Amino acid sequence: KNQVEQSPQSLIILEGKNCTLQCNYTVSPFSNLRWYKQDTGRGPVSLTIMTFSENTKSNGRYTATLDADTKQSSLHITASQLSDSASYICVVRGGGGADGLTFGKGTHLIIQP
């Protein structure tokens, strides 16, 4: 069964600190993996996209990693800001389905001043 598991479910950190969010998947075949940021009451916005051959990709303070062998990905946020408070969703493309996507439940991140 195609699944995307994210951890932790929620996380609270102080402004300025770093954090790492995890994503494990069992989707097959694998096409790509995206990390999205979803602000409360808004649609998901893509942060990074990684294909099978990519290990690391950065977008500003966001750095995603992918280990296709262990089927794990992480999203590292550096020097967190209050505006980083949001849900971060890991989405894997592949494995069929009408939209070809398998969504994780997301990690709810709260940045405290």
Partner 1 sequence: GAVVSQHPSWVICKSGTSVKIECRSLDFQATTMFWYRQFPKQSLMLMATSNEGSKATYEQGVEKDKFLINHASLTLSTLTVTSAHPEDSSFYICSARGLGNTEAFFGQGTRLTVV
Q: Which residues bind partner 1 (CB under 8 A)?
A: 9, 31, 36, 41-46, 49, 89, 93, 97-101, 103-106, 108
As measured in angstroms, the least distance from the Cβ of 16 to partner 1 is 26
Shortest separation between residue 3's beta carbon and partner 1, angstroms: 10
CA distances from 88 to 6, 85, 112 (A): 9, 9, 17
Q: Is the peptide bond before 29 cis (omega within 30 degrees of 0)?
A: yes
Tell me the closest approach of the beta carbon of residue 86 to partner 1, in angstroms. Answer: 13
Tokens representing 96 are 């069929």
Which of residues 13 and 101 has its CB atom nearest to partner 1 in the complex? 101
Q: Which is nearer to partner 1, 16 or 96 (CB)?
A: 96
Q: Residue 43 phi/psi, 5° resolution?
A: -80, 165
